[in-house]
Structure 1
Amino acid sequence: MARETAMELQDAKMNGALPSDAVDYRQEREGFLPSRGPAPGSKPVQFMDFEGKTSFGMSVFNLSNAIMGSGILGLAYAMAHTGVIFFLALLLCIALLSSYSIHLLLTCAGIVGIRAYEQLGQRAFGPAGKVVVAAVICLHNVGAMSSYLFIIKSELPLVIGTFLYMDPEGDWFLKGNLLIIIVSVLIILPLALMKHLGYLGYTSGLSLTCMLFFLVSVIYKKFQLGCAIGRNETAMESEAPVGLHNQGLNSSCEAQMFTVDSQMSYTVPIMAFAFVCHPEVLPIYTELCRPSKRRMQAVANVSIGAMFCMYGLTATFGYLTFYSNVEAEMLHMYSQKDPLILCVRLAVLLAVTLTVPVVLFPIRRALQQLLFPGKAFSWPRHVAIALILLVLVNVLVICVPTIQDIFGVIGSTSAPSLIFILPSIFYLRIVPSEVEPFLSWPKIQALCFGVLGVLFMAISLGFMFANWATGQSRLSGH
Structure 2
Amino acid sequence: MESKNQLHVSNAGKQSEGTDFFKTCFNVLNTLTGIGILSMPYAVSQGGWLSFMLLIIFGMISCYTALLLERCMNLNPKIKSYADIGDVAFGYKGRAMIAIFIYLEAFLISVELLILEADNLEKLFPNMRFTIFGLKIGGKSCFVIFTALAILPTTWLRNLGALAYISIGGVFTSIILIGCVVWVGEVDGVGFHERGDLIHWGGLSTSMGIFAFCYSAHSLMPTICNSMSDRKQFSKI
Fold agreement, TM-score > 0.5: yes
Aligned-partner SS, 2:198: coil
Please show how residues 199-348 of structure 1 align to structure 2 within 5 Å: 201=163, 202-227=165-190, 253-256=193-196, 258-292=198-232, 295-299=233-237
Q: CA RMSD in A?
A: 3.5
Mapped to 2, the partners of 1:194 and 1:75 lie a distance apart of 27
Deviations, residues 241-290 of structure 1 (Å, cap 9, x unaligned): xxxxxxxxx9xx43346221312111112111101333322232233344
Q: CA deviation at 1:186?
A: 5.0
1:98 corresponds to: 62
1:368 corresponds to: none
Aligned-partner SS, 1:254: coil
182-191 vs 272-281, greater mean Cα deviation: 182-191
Provide structure 1 residue ranges, at least 5 long, that are not aligned to the other structure: 1-40, 229-249, 300-478
| Cα distance change of structure 1 residues 184 and 197 upon mapping to structure 2, 3 Å threshold | farther
| Cα distance change of structure 1 residues 298 and 82 upon mapping to structure 2, 3 Å threshold | same
2:3 corresponds to: 42
Mapped to 2, the partners of 1:102 and 1:124 lie a distance apart of 17
Provide structure 2 residue ranges, at least 5 long, that are not aligned to the other structure: 132-136
Mapped to 2, the partners of 1:258 and 1:226 lie a distance apart of 25
1:335 corresponds to: none
Aligned-partner SS, 1:78: helix
2:114–2:147 CA contact under 8 A, matched in 1: no
| Cα distance change of structure 1 residues 195 and 269 upon mapping to structure 2, 3 Å threshold | closer
| Cα distance change of structure 1 residues 190 and 208 upon mapping to structure 2, 3 Å threshold | closer
Counterpart amino acid of 2:3?
S
2:157 corresponds to: 197
Q: CA deviation at 1:219?
A: 0.7
Mapped to 1, the partners of 2:118 and 2:68 lie a distance apart of 38
1:75–1:271 CA contact under 8 A, matched in 2: yes
Compute the TM-score of the two structures, normalised by the length of structure 1: 0.41
Compute the TM-score of the two structures, normalised by the length of structure 2: 0.76
1:181 aligns with 2:141: yes
| Cα distance change of structure 1 residues 189 and 131 upon mapping to structure 2, 3 Å threshold | farther
| Cα distance change of structure 1 residues 283 and 79 upon mapping to structure 2, 3 Å threshold | same
Mapped to 2, the partners of 1:223 and 1:108 lie a distance apart of 47
Please show how residues 43-122 of structure 1 align to structure 2 within 5 Å: 43=4, 50-51=14-15, 53-84=18-49, 86-113=50-77, 114-122=79-87
Q: CA deviation at 1:207?
A: 2.5
Aligned-partner SS, 1:51: helix
1:132 aligns with 2:97: yes
Aligned-partner SS, 1:279: helix
Mapped to 1, the partners of 2:46 and 2:147 lie a distance apart of 37
* Greater relative contact order (CA < 8 Å, ≥ 6 in sequence): 2
Counterpart amino acid of 2:140?
I
Deviations, residues 275-324 of structure 1 (Å, cap 9, x unaligned): 133332223223334432xx31121xxxxxxxxxxxxxxxxxxxxxxxxx
1:157 corresponds to: 122
Report the identity percentage. Answer: 21
Please show how residues 291-440 of structure 1 align to structure 2 within 5 Å: 291-292=231-232, 295-299=233-237
2:55–2:211 CA contact under 8 A, matched in 1: yes
Q: CA deviation at 1:78?
A: 0.9
Mapped to 1, the partners of 2:55 and 2:20 lie a distance apart of 28
Mapped to 2, the partners of 1:184 and 1:150 lie a distance apart of 6
Aligned-partner SS, 2:216: coil
